[in-house]
Amino acid sequence: MGDKANAHPGAAGRAATADHPASVRNVVLVGHSGSGKTTLMEALALTAGAVNRAGRVEDGTSVSDYDDIEHRQQRSVQLSLVPVEWGGYKINVLDTPGYADFVGELRAGLRAADAALFVVSAAEGAEGIGGATRMVWEECAAVGMPRAIVITHLETARSDFAEMTRSCAEAFGADDPDAVLPLYLPLYGEQGPDGHAPVTGLIGLLSQRVFDYASGERKESEPGPDQLPVIQEARNKLIEGIIAESEDESLMDRYLGGADIDYETLVQDLEHAVARGIFHPVLAAAPAAEGARQGIGTVELLDLITGGFPTPLEHPAPAVTTPAGKPRPALTCDPQGPLAAEVVKTASDPYVGRISLVRVFSGTLRPDETVHVSGHGLADRGHEDHDVDERVGALSSPFGKQQRTLSQCIAGDLACVAKLSRAETGDTLSAKDDPLLMEPWDMPDPLLPLAIQAHSKADEDKLSQGLSRLVAEDPTMRLEQNQNTHQVVLWCLGEAHADVALERLRNRYGVQVDLVPHKVSLRETFASRSTGRGRHVKQSGGHGQFAICEIEVEPLPGGSGIEFVDKVVGGAVPRQFIPSVEKGVRAQAAKGVAAGYPLIDVRVTLLDGKAHSVDSSDAAFQTAGALALREAAGDATIHLLEPVAEVQVLVADEHVGSVMSDLSGRRGRVVGTEQAPGGRTVVRAEVPEIEIGRYAVDLRSLSQGTARFSRNYARHEPMPPQLSQKIREQAQGPHS
């Protein structure tokens, strides 16, 4: 593994294809922003022959080019796929954004892959392994996903491979540090004037061979006498780590007894341990020498992917049901099995329309066939559920902005599908006569609200379609048409996520929007009992208007809504007009009686009134009921009620104090804490929603990106008098 052939056939100029799941490898690159994932992906493509030495495909674009926003922001904001061929295998390399706001793209990449490469930067030292990266590692561990580690930026002056390896073992090998060990050691050249020696190659620990890239070509040789002691120490530790994870329990006894374990056995056991997700090799990567076709470490990495990472045959498929929820037998990765594929990413191309990146878990997907599209259950986020048939367009394999045509996509492989106008990210594609629905993957809840309105009448006409297409691409967004505040709210994961959403609306869909302050759903209620009299008497030519009613209003416990009670005696208000009074009261309650917010949790009792045999009417008594409620409010103390959320924060123990202090500063009440695995704590609190509009951003700063939180509506509570008064004054305006 990695010590094998010197040269492999590439895939330049054609689409990488697969004819059997055993010949496919799906690997996702994971790491924080700036760790070098995209550069590594381009280096792998160069070594595999998918691009030229300038990192360009046939049309002159970069293999990783796709989104104009990524060019402008100089960072990845979406999942991208580069398929390459290596040694007869097709490798689908999935590059994910490293910024926390785009964790939805990361989770999509994890769903589509069978193994993960964690990319860490030696230039940043231990600080480069952020808490968010460790949490992703734990998620992969929980499902047994095989993982390896690639240390990048070894060309920088501050880099230290040995120190970074120790940091990786501490961060990723909490349960078993000996399961995180290097397969190679860097080979250093002569020191420069700054005292830094460049990495010129690698030393294979299992093969005890030197792979020198200094000339621009990978050359293999024997290690020198000065290198042997260092090699032997690291090699012994690696062998012990491999044997400790071996399924052959006799190996350890033989090794401890002084027996030599042959190279082929070690490689085979290493590959099995990696594929089972219990051993995590550390590799090194550095830029290629000028004009070289291979980056340092890329051959070794491609060999690890093909030799050590599992095939799709070894990766359990997601559970499936019928669209109605009836369980179905577990899927297997069989090209002849029932069709079951999943849309892991949706994008819009200005020339060909919507393009869906699909992972096929069972069966074979072919162009121009009709498939069933089953929805993903994210209706609460503005994504409608689907249960429709659609015709598949062309299948293709992406290379930068090119799409290379495919004749089919078998189980275990990935492909881009054109013209699926209804399918969205997370949807299941299956046979139209045997529809299936896959269990959805875990999606983070968007918790940063963005209240928007169309910039002009022309934008207003396009806003609805633009928003629907935007959320179809990104299931981590939630579109809300708030009936209480009458705002259009786009919920995002953070500020960068919001910026990308607005830019896509503007540049891709031609919709200009303005941001407005986000409103929470305030309410009003009576603090004490009060009475009111509504008198609506008007006389003009013909029939007049006559209605008088007297009511009593009293507060009720939270959650009671509005009760209307009729206590009229003697027919003072005719029976046919009592519903009219109630209708008028409820209409006024919906408009509010103090600051324009709906009135809740009161009992309104109709006590008395007067009517006229000719001039009384339904409309007159509706008006009288509304007037009576307003008069009662004028003589009572009205509380403004604000929504309070139950907030749960999962945070590393070292940040608990800061989080609790911050919650208190937001008028929050901490109601409890409990320990969670991995040195973390769950903090439970009740916090007014008006105080946590930007909590998704602020919590990230407080916890260095490691904390998560969830929120659920609890109830409405009275606001503090000074805040309530301020809102009343704003509602009444400066001239009231």
| pLDDT tens digits, 407-416 | 999 999 999 9
Q: Which residues of 172-188 are buried (b: 16+ CB within 10 A; e: fewer)?
A: bbeeeeebbbbbbbbbe
The pLDDT tens digits for 90-128 are 999 999 998 888 888 999 999 999 999 999 998 887 777
The pLDDT value recorded for residue 512 is: 95
Mean pLDDT throughout 366-392? 80
The SS3 of residue 329 is: coil
Q: Locate the domains of the chain by residue range.
A: 21-221+274-314, 320-438, 448-515, 523-636, 640-732
Establish how many alpha carbons lie within 13 A of residue 188's alpha carbon, considering only the half-sphere containing its beta carbon.
17
CATH node for 21-221+274-314: 3.40.50.300
d(CA 418, CA 358) in angstroms, rounded, equals 10
- Same fold yes or no, 448-515 and 640-732: yes
The pLDDT tens digits for 672-725 are 999 998 789 999 999 999 999 999 999 999 998 889 999 999 999 999 999 998
CATH node for 448-515: 3.30.70.870
CATH node for 320-438: 2.40.30.10
The pLDDT value recorded for residue 13 is: 45
For residue 361, CA distances in Å to 302, 313, 415, 438 come to: 23, 9, 12, 10
The pLDDT value recorded for residue 733 is: 64
402 alpha-carbon distance from chain centroid: 26
**φ/ψ of residue 98, rounded to 5:** -95, -10
d(CA 699, CA 697) in angstroms, rounded, equals 6
| Pair of tokens at residue 470 | 């935007």
Contact 17, 406 (CB under 8 A): yes
Angle at 615 between CA 614 and CA 621, to 5 degrees: 125
The pLDDT value recorded for residue 727 is: 86
- Return the higher-pLDDT residue of 226 and 339: 339
Record the pTM: 0.85
The SS3 of residue 40 is: helix
For residue 35, CA distances in Å to 235, 296, 487, 488 come to: 27, 16, 39, 37
- Within 8 A by CB and 6+ apart from 445, the residues are 478, 710
The SS3 of residue 631 is: helix
| Pair of tokens at residue 521 | 């759903």
CATH node for 523-636: 3.30.230.10
Task: Give percent of the chain with pLDDT exceeding 90.
Answer: 57
d(CA 275, CA 315) in angstroms, rounded, equals 10
> At 589, is the pLDDT very low, low, confident or very high (cuts 50, 70, 90)?
very high
- pLDDT of 68 above 60: no
| Pair of tokens at residue 139 | 């998620």
Angle at 97 between CA 93 and CA 99, to 5 degrees: 155
What mean pLDDT is reported for the chain?
87
Strand partners, 710: 648
The pLDDT tens digits for 179-202 are 899 999 999 888 766 667 788 899
Place of tokens 């060999």: 303
Residue 85 corresponds to which amino acid? E
Using alpha carbons, select from 208, 260, 167, 198 the residue that is nearest to residue 2: 208
- pLDDT of 5 above 60: no
The pLDDT value recorded for residue 53 is: 54
Using alpha carbons, select from 161, 142, 273, 153 the residue that is nearest to residue 206: 273
CATH node for 640-732: 3.30.70.240
- Return the higher-pLDDT residue of 174 and 683: 683
Residue 146 corresponds to which amino acid? P
The SS3 of residue 87 is: coil
Q: What is the 3-state secondary structure (H, E, C) of 564-590?
A: EEECCCCCCCCHHHHHHHHHHHHHHHH
- pLDDT of 52 above 70: no
Alpha-carbon dihedral angle through residues 404, 410, 414, 418, given to the nearest 10 degrees: 60
The pLDDT tens digits for 497-540 are 999 999 999 988 899 999 999 999 999 999 999 999 999 999 77
d(CA 392, CA 372) in angstroms, rounded, equals 10
d(CA 42, CA 30) in angstroms, rounded, equals 15
- 437 burial (CB, 10 Å; 0-12 / 13-18 / 19+) is buried
- pLDDT of 7 above 50: no
> At 597, is the pLDDT very low, low, confident or very high (cuts 50, 70, 90)?
very high
